[in-house]
């Protein structure tokens, strides 16, 4: 029974394809683990929706992944992580990890000035989840946060460097840069793609924290601690499911994952699962 569980895949969901940046780090850190990725492309974006709606979406994504026999759930979406982790942990009987706690932990480790910046979608920033997670670890740390909504469509378009994105980045980041922070958390799946531009605008003296990298190492730790590491092989199987597939998806998805995706399956969880009552 234990071996069956060890060999089971890790489930990852995101509101869309941005979570492939987390899958990419998982593949690097845990090359022997099978991964099932669900991108809720039919209902993206989550970053501008209410917490109640995002929790309902997260629940149906989790039900789908659990039906595929996953041993651990990774909520790769920062927005979903910031509002739905307590509900998912209470409702489902598998280990659940979001990206907020790992990102917060890393930021607290690297700050010297006790002043951390956090950028994310409006929903993530409004939830205050990063601020709470950082203050839980060290109440003396001051957190300065800022929503950067235009970064998501820019990354989706592949506009990650150049004059236009730099102009947008300056507008968002100049106030936060001048507030005395020494660490900036990239609190959104899409922002690692803009890392070079963000670093250029804030300057080398500010350390960027990528939640995706830290999440992957924490997942490894959880699997080791629970004796759930798949040590039976060195290569892995990856299955990608989307709730809607657009023409441009394959090329955009390849950019996020950093490798070509050969096969994507479409799944209809949207029409068959309960929608939030409004
Ligand atoms: N995946 C979302 C996040 O990390 C960004 C895209 C969206 O708004 O759904 O917050």
At 149-172, the pLDDT tens digits run: 999 999 988 899 999 999 999 999
* Co-location of 268 and 171 in the same domain: no
Report residues of the chain scoring pLDDT below 50. Answer: 1, 272-278
Task: Identify the CATH number of the domain in which residue 149 sits.
Answer: 3.40.50.1860
Which among 155, 189, 211 is the best mutation to test ligand 1's pocket, defined by most ligand atoms within 8 Å of the CB? 189
Domain's final residue, options 157, 178, 211:
211
Residue 148 a catalytic site member: no
Question: Quick one: three-class SS letters along 25-90?
Answer: HHHHHCCCCCEEEEECCCCCCCCCCCHHHHHHHHHHHHHHHHHCCCCEEEECCHHHHHHHHHHHHH
Residue 77 a catalytic site member: yes
User: Which residue's C-alpha comes closest to atom 2 of ligand 1?
Assistant: 77
Q: How far is the CA of 177 from the centre of ligand 1 (A)?
A: 23
User: Which residue's C-alpha comes closest to atom 7 of ligand 1?
Assistant: 45
Q: According to the model, what pLDDT value does residue 236 have?
A: 81
Q: According to the model, what pLDDT value does residue 254 have?
A: 83
Domain's final residue, options 176, 211, 246:
211
161 phi and psi, to 5 degrees? -140, 160
* Co-location of 130 and 224 in the same domain: no
* Co-location of 84 and 218 in the same domain: yes
Domain's final residue, options 173, 191, 211:
211
Q: According to the model, what pLDDT value does residue 261 have?
A: 84
* Co-location of 195 and 261 in the same domain: no
Q: Cβ distance 64 to 269 under 8 Å?
A: yes
Q: According to the model, what pLDDT value does residue 3 have?
A: 67
Of 56, 48, 120, the residue nearest 88 (C-alpha): 56
Which among 22, 46, 53, 242 is the best mutation to test ligand 1's pocket, defined by most ligand atoms within 8 Å of the CB? 46
Q: According to the model, what pLDDT value does residue 276 have?
A: 44
* Co-location of 127 and 164 in the same domain: yes
Domain with 182 in it: 101-211
Q: What is the pTM of this model?
A: 0.92
Q: How far is the CA of 38 from the centre of ligand 1 (A)?
A: 14
Q: According to the model, what pLDDT value does residue 271 have?
A: 64
* Co-location of 94 and 230 in the same domain: yes
Q: According to the model, what pLDDT value does residue 260 have?
A: 82
Q: Can you tell me which atom of ligand 1 is nearest the CA of 121?
A: 10
**Which of the residues 188, 193, 194, 209 is marked catalytic?**
188
Q: How far is the CA of 48 from the centre of ligand 1 (A)?
A: 9
Q: Can you tell me which atom of ligand 1 is nearest the CA of 123?
A: 10
**Which of the residues 72, 77, 119, 194 is marked catalytic?**
77
Q: Can you tell me which atom of ligand 1 is nearest the CA of 79?
A: 10
Of 45, 43, 47, 39, the residue nearest 64 (C-alpha): 39
* Co-location of 39 and 55 in the same domain: yes
* Co-location of 201 and 233 in the same domain: no
Dump the DSSP string for 143-168: EEEEE-TTHHHHHHHT--SSHHHHHH
Collapsing DSSP to helix, strand or coil, 195 comes out as: helix
Number of folded domains that form the chain: 2
Q: How far is the CA of 18 from the centre of ligand 1 (A)?
A: 7
* Co-location of 94 and 190 in the same domain: no
pLDDT tens digits for 80-107? 999 999 999 999 999 999 999 999 999 9
Collapsing DSSP to helix, strand or coil, 261 comes out as: coil
Around ligand 1, the residues with Cβ closer than 6 Å are 14-16, 18, 44-47, 77-79, 121, 124, 152, 188-190
């Amino acid at each position: 029974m234990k071996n069956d569980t060890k060999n089971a895949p890790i489930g990852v969901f995101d509101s869309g394809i941005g979570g492939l940046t987390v899958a990419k780090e998982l593949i690097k850190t845990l090359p022997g683990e099978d991964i099932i990725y669900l991108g809720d492309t039919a209902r993206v974006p989550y970053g501008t929706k209410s917490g109640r709606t995002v929790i309902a979406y997260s629940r149906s994504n989790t039900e789908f992944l659990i039906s595929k026999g996953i041993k651990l759930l990774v909520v790769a979406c920062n927005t979903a992580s910031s509002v739905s982790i307590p509900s998912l942990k209470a409702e489902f009987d598998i280990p659940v990890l979001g990206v907020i706690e790992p990102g917060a932990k890393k930021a607290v480790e690297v700050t010297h000035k006790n002043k951390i910046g956090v950028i994310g979608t409006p929903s993530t920033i409004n939830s205050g989840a990063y601020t709470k997670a950082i203050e839980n670890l060290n109440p003396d740390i001051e957190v300065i946060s800022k929503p950067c909504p235009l970064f998501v469509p820019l990354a989706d378009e592949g506009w990650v460097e150049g004059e236009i994105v730099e102009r947008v980045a300056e507008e968002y980041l100049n106030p936060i840069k001048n507030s005395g922070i020494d660490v900036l958390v990239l609190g959104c799946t899409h922002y690692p793609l803009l890392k070079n531009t963000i670093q250029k605008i804030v300057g080398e003296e500010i350390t960027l924290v990528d939640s995706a990298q830290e999440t992957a190492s924490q997942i490894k730790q959880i699997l080791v601690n629970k004796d759930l590491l798949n040590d039976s092989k060195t290569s892995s199987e990856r299955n990608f499911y989307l709730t809607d597939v657009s023409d441009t998806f394959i090329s955009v998805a390849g950019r996020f994952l950093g490798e070509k995706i050969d096969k994507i399956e479409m799944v209809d969880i949207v029409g068959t699962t309960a929608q939030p009552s409004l």
